[in-house]
Chain A
Amino acid sequence: MFPKNPVSRRAMLGRSAVGFGSLALASMLADETRANTPNVAPLAPKLPHFAARAKRVIFLFMCGGPSQVDTFDPKPLLTRDDGKPFPHAKPRVQFAATNNLLKSPWEFKQHGESGLWVSDLFPHVAKQVDNLCMINSMHGTNPAHGGAMMKLHTGSDNFVRPSIGSWLSYGLGTDNSNLPGYLTICPTLGHGGVTNWGSAFLPAVYQGTPLGNASVPSDKAKVSYINNSNLSRDIQRMQLDRLYAMNRQHQAQAGQEASLEARINSFELAFRMQTEMPQLEDLSNESQATLSLYGMDNPTTANFGRMCLMARRFSEAGVRFVQVTHSDSNVQWDQHSNLKEGHEKNAREVDQPIAALLYDLKARGLLEDTLVWWGSEFGRTPVAEGKNGRDHNPEGFTMWLAGGGVKAGFRYGSTDEYGYYATEDKVHIHDLHATILHLMGIDHERLTYPYAGRNFRLTDVEGNVVDKIIA
Chain B
Amino acid sequence: MLLVDVGLLRAKEPASRAAWIGGLTVLGLVGVLALLGQHLAVTGDLYFMDRDRVLVIDRLAIVLRIIIVALALGASLLSIRYPFTKHYGEYFALLLFATVGLNLLVATENLLMFFVALELLSVCLYALTGMHRGVLRSAEGAVKYFMVGALSSAFLLFGLSWIVGSTGATDLPALRDALAGGGNALRLTGLVFVVVGLGFKLAAVPFHTWTPDAYQGAPTPVTAFIATASKVASFVVGAKILLVGFAGMAGSAHWPWRELSSGTFGAARIEPGWVLLLAVLAAASMIWGNLAALTQKNVKRMLAYSSIAHTGYLLLGVMAANQAGLTAVLAYLVAYAVTTLGAFGVVAALTRQLGGDDLEDLDGLARRAPGMALLLLVFVLSLAGIPPLAGFIAKFNLFAVAVRADAQELGLLWLVFVGLAGSAVSLYYYVLILKHALVHAPRRSDPVRVDTLWMVPLVVLAVLVVVIGAWPQPLLELFGALVEGAGLIR
A and B, one complex?
no
Q: Enumerate chain B interface residues (CB-CB to A < 8 A).
A: none
Q: Enumerate chain A interface residues (CB-CB to B < 8 A).
A: none
